[in-house]
Amino acid sequence: MSDVPETSVNDLADDAVLLDVREQDEWDAGHAPGAVHVPMGEVPSRLGELPETDEPLPVVCRSGGRSGRAVQWLQRQGFDVVNVDGGMRAWAGAGKPLRAEAGNEPTVI
Percent of residues in the chain assigned helix, strand, coil, to nearest 5: 35, 15, 45
Q: Which of 21, 61, 70, 81 is the catalytic position?
A: 61
Q: How far apart are CA 19 and CA 43, in angstroms?
A: 10
Residues 6+ apart with CB under 8 A from 34: 13, 15, 16, 17, 18
Is 65 an active-site residue?
no
The residues assigned a catalytic role are 61
